[in-house]
Amino acid sequence: MNRFAKLCSVIALFVLLPLVFAGHDYGQALSKSILFFEAQRSGFLPSTQRVQWRANSGLNDGKASGVDLVGGYYDAGDNVKFGLPMAFTITMMSWSIVEYGRQMAGSGELGNAMDAVKWGTDYLIKAHPQPYVLYGEVGDGNTDHYCWQRPEDMTTSRQAYMIDPTNPGSDLAGETAAAMAAASLVFRQSNPSYANELLTHAQQLFEFADKYRGKYDSSITVARPYYQSVSGYADELLWAAVWLYKATTNEYYLSYLGDNGDALGGTGWSMTEFGWDVKYAGVQTLVAKLLMGGETGHYAPIFENYQQKAEFFMCSCLGKGSQNVQKTPGGLIFRQRWNNMQFVTSASFLLAVYSDYLTSAGKNLICNSGSVAPSELLSFAQSQVDYILGDNPRATSYMVGYGSNYPRQVHHRASSIVSIKVDPSFVTCRGGYATWFSSKAGDPNILTGAIVGGPDAYDNFADERENYEQTEPTTYNNAPLLGLLARLNGGHSGYNQLLPDSSPSPIAIEQKMTTSWNANGKTYYRYFTVLTNKSGKTLKGLKLSIAKLYGPLWGLTKSGDSYFFPEWLGSLPAGKSLEFVYIQSASQADISVSSYDMV
């Protein structure tokens, strides 16, 4: 069957599937889940900050070490910046956009999701000042947990910890490489220079991780009580390699996956969990995608072993495998009492993308119990999301601010203490415990969109601030949910999920040659260009880069080497277009978006 016929058959399959799910407002949940990341921001907050009860914090981070480490995300309800979970968060947000950015654009949230990724990658760039140096933590859990303070007030240690060739951390460097490679796909169209910068960092970090091997928590020992790398670094090396192959199509990374699949466990480990520590299921899912898309070279037999392990994971989640995951009586995936939701959202995301990969390939999942249609994987992922949003024995929404019955005493310093903008009185280290932590009142600031740790093995949940195992949120709980909610809200639209990755831009640029003429022995062409705001928001601060432009241009304002809106146009509303023309005796110019804001 030729490529066109295959594509047509795939589209026909999608037509048979329901495009949009009913029941919960997945679009609202998506918007709220992205908003949560603005509450987790560290550093100088931008003028576009929507979570207004937060203010600047951590403005001297890195200063004592002679490096600028201002920015990034606090991982959870504390004020520490842990590099490993932060990088995993960024990888999963980026994967969400790579797979389901079209659906995000349709709901007007793509710009916000990309902003959330960039807030993280801007920090990771700072944290990687030299090829073989990476800062992996600012602050430490011991001193931080002794205090209960707003980020804006914190008096705890802000010491920075790094890895280098003498003190390696292949898991940390590998995950950070994966994050930057995945994020480069997000920005490839809209900000190619930034995407290239991320890719350079990713390649350097992968080389560092592979050349100087070791566990990061043996070098940054203060991280061990909080984010111990139990699985080691082999999974992160494969994880980084698969993302670098997707970002570069460089055969070196494909060969790395093929040559090291057995030695590093990619073809050997049968997993029933996926998260910030253990990446094997994610690696196996992505390699299976490469296999189904025909991107295997002579490694097909090895990649089939990766796929077998990916399908072991899927079957286990569905309860149709040889070793199935535990579920609560209400049907929620359950692995552990402490922040169980991290495993629920990550597993559900993998089920959703694998469902779409199978549909694109025209295949079913084969489990011990028999053949499983791709739609069954997606339905199970949806059931997990619906449980999170309130379809559970307690009728509780585990997303703060969604529905009417959600956690009101979240284990989160900034949320539980009155905003510094409302009461600027200094909150002392221990005074915060006495006044705010121990309060039985609801949080003064609603941590909108946060996914808390969730219920126990029997669907029980205690909404109490001191119950950190169940009421503390984390960034990596939310990150996989971005893509999953976008998929459930926007449907699929018949897109072949096995095609090369290319995150969509909310800005479309179309060029066409409208006329030509000869003069003085040369042929001149008039190019008509239409720039359209495809998002649901207003486009402002547009900056264009135009290469291979050799003639005059009308309809834009030039400043330096960049082009901006014409003086009479300050913004471009949702769905509207801007037109401009240029003339030259050459083929069309290369026009790309350097930066923009969506408001």
* Residues that are catalytic: 78, 411, 463, 472
Distance CA(564)–CA(543), nearest Å, equals 5
Distance CA(123)–CA(100), nearest Å, equals 24
- Residue 551: CB atoms within 10 Å: 14
Which backbone phi and psi does 562 adopt, to 5 degrees?
A: -115, 165
Contact criterion met (CB below 8 Å) for 27 and 107: yes
Contact criterion met (CB below 8 Å) for 93 and 33: no
Run of H or E residues at 57: none
CA distances from 134 to 66, 117, 161, 175, 179 (A): 13, 19, 9, 12, 14
Counted residue by residue, the chain has a size of 599
- Residue 13: is it exposed, middle or buried by C-beta count within 10 angstroms (0-12/13-18/19+)? middle
- Residue 510: CB atoms within 10 Å: 11
CA distances from 251 to 123, 257, 295, 297, 511 (A): 29, 10, 10, 9, 33
DSSP, collapsed to helix, strand or coil, labels residue 593 as: strand
Contact criterion met (CB below 8 Å) for 219 and 168: yes
- Angle at CA of residue 451, ends 449 and 453, nearest 5°: 160
Distance CA(172)–CA(277), nearest Å, equals 10
Per-residue HEC secondary structure of 436-466 comes to HHCCCCCCCCCCCCCECCCCCCCCCCCCCCC
What is the amino acid identity at position 55? A
